[in-house]
Amino acid sequence: MSERTGTVARKTRETDITVTVNLDGSGRAEIATGLRFLDHLFDALTRHSRMDVTLSCSGDLDIDDHHTAEDCALAFGEAFDQALGDKRGIRRFGEGHAPLDEALARAVIDLSGRPFAYVDLGLRREKVGDIATEMIGHVLQSFAMGAKMTLHVELIRGQNDHHRAEAAFKALALALRMAIAHSGHDEVPSTKGVL
């Protein structure tokens, strides 16, 4: 397989983002979104999926967290999809369960090329750190749209919203790690012959 890397630069009147993804990394994260809790979630996703990710963003945080969180997730997803190339030789499907103390999350993905996201985190607080909890699910949805994947993430149990959110990102990381792994075959894993 060739090198699996992707780089996306996304500049709008609301955000200026550069992200690079290496699918065959060691879990090295250099994340600076301007939102510390989002950095924490992306760091967990990077480390546990074993991808290397560099992401920097300058956004209009004086307005609120929406544009920064959404655009970072879209750009991250696009770079991930770019790194996958034609998806030849990958497993395609992945699933992961991740506990964090009392919280337990499940993520199931299909790198199908058909973007869809079902996210049920049941977060209760208005904010975790410096990000609105409504944005945490939206970040997962936006990542799925950018990555052109089918994504299902749900909380099985948990009380603490920090733990619930982080467990969800770790579960996604484990699912990604499984889905991007080399299958041992040099074919596109689809009856259509293309994803």
pLDDT digits (tens, 9 = 90+) for 17-39: 999 999 999 999 999 999 999 99
Q: Structural domains in the chain?
A: 5-180 (3.30.230.40)
pTM of the entire predicted model: 0.95
For residue 1, the model assigns a pLDDT of 52
Residues 73-109: pLDDT tens digits? 999 999 999 999 999 999 999 999 999 999 999 999 9
Q: How far is CA 188 from CA 85, 111, 158, 175, 182, in A?
A: 11, 11, 38, 19, 11
Q: How far is CA 168 from the centre of its chain?
A: 10
Q: What residues contact residue 121 under an 8 Å CB cut-off, 6+ apart?
A: 105, 133, 136, 137, 153, 154, 155, 164, 165, 168
Residues 134-167: pLDDT tens digits? 999 999 999 999 999 999 999 999 999 999 999 9
